[in-house]
Amino acid sequence: MKLQHLPLGIFLAIAAAACGGGDAGGGADAAMPDASIDSPSSAARFSFFATSLGTMRSQSGSMDGFGGNLGGLIGADRICQNAAAAVGAGGKTWRAFLSTYNGGTPVHAISRIGAGPWYDRNQRLVAMNVAGLLAGDRPMGDAATINDLPDENGTPLKSLGDTHDILTGSNTMGRLDGNNAAVTCNDWTDASAGTPNVVRLGHSWPAASGTHWIRAHTARGCSPGVNLVQDGPGTGTSVGAGGGWGGIYCFALTP
């Protein structure tokens, strides 16, 4: 049998057996697989991101993204899970940072995401705990990430243009910001124009129109749309009109 033609996993298993399964004398090193195969170092503590334009387009099947219809909280969680899986972090359980009206029994974004700590794809601290997330306009973490929250690829959103608007439906405490389903695009199932200027957005990076990462201003509507050009509040009724693509924040329940 020619070992050089064997799949890597089988080759390593044979090598480990030949060396005594990791006994003294160098066997452990010979049997150890490349750690990057199953657990890339960039995903070791990776537990936070804002969804990229690429993933919102590919997962929605539209160049305009999802708009306000994310498939409810279940669909939004799936978006987060799929985006994380695409960069090697699908083994964790991911949740979307979104609130819903839920027929008058609100589900609050802050109650969905675990206890922390959370790190971005570049291994930089976003916040140690919930208190750190809610400490002010920006989370209490590494300045290099909290002032320009990155996507699942580790790319800071500001580098892509006017991209700060992120759907949250939440107030500064991460709780539902309103008293009806209109403030959440009908609990994230509505991609029509919706009710103008009621759906709450946060800012992935501070801008003149708002600095808070959860609650900066409202969206013009719930329809799909992408805008990467600075033009104030924008035009039309899309979630991206003021700068962005209707992205969402995603948190892993465990770091």
Q: What is the pLDDT of residue 137?
A: 98
Residue 43's pLDDT band (cuts 50, 70, 90): low
Please give the Cα distance from 109 to 173 (Å, whole number): 9
Report the mean per-residue pLDDT for the chain: 86
Distance CA 180, CA 187 (A): 9
Return the SS3 of 43: helix
* pTM, 2 dp: 0.83
17, pLDDT greater than 50? no
56-70, 125-139, 194-208: least confidently modelled range: 194-208
E strand map for the chain: 48-50, 94-96, 118-119, 125-127, 165-167, 200-203, 217-218, 244-252
Contact status, residue 207 vs residue 161, Cβ threshold 8 Å: no
Range in 21-30, 55-64, 227-236 with the lowest mean pLDDT: 21-30
Residues 78-136 pLDDT 10s: 999 999 999 999 999 999 999 999 999 999 999 999 999 999 999 999 999 999 999 99
* Structure confidence at residue 10 (pLDDT): 38
Nearby residues of 74 by Cβ (< 8 Å), 6 or more positions away: none
Residue 26 pLDDT grade (very low, low, confident, very high; cuts 50, 70, 90): very low
Residue 231 binned pLDDT confidence (cut-offs 50, 70, 90): confident
Asked if residue 117 has a cis previous peptide bond (ω within 30° of 0), the answer is yes
Structure tokens at 68: 């306000």
For residues 110 and 196, the answer to whether their CB atoms sit within 8 Å is: no
Q: Residue 30: its pLDDT value, please?
A: 32
Domains observed in the chain: 3-33 (no CATH), 42-252 (3.10.100.10)
* pLDDT for res 195: 85
Q: Which residues pair with 125 in a beta bridge?
A: 119
The pLDDT of 236-255, averaged and rounded, is: 94
* Cα separation values, 252 from 9, 70, 126, 166, 228, Å: 29, 18, 12, 18, 27
pLDDT at 53 exceeding the cut of 60:
yes
Range 142-162 average pLDDT: 94
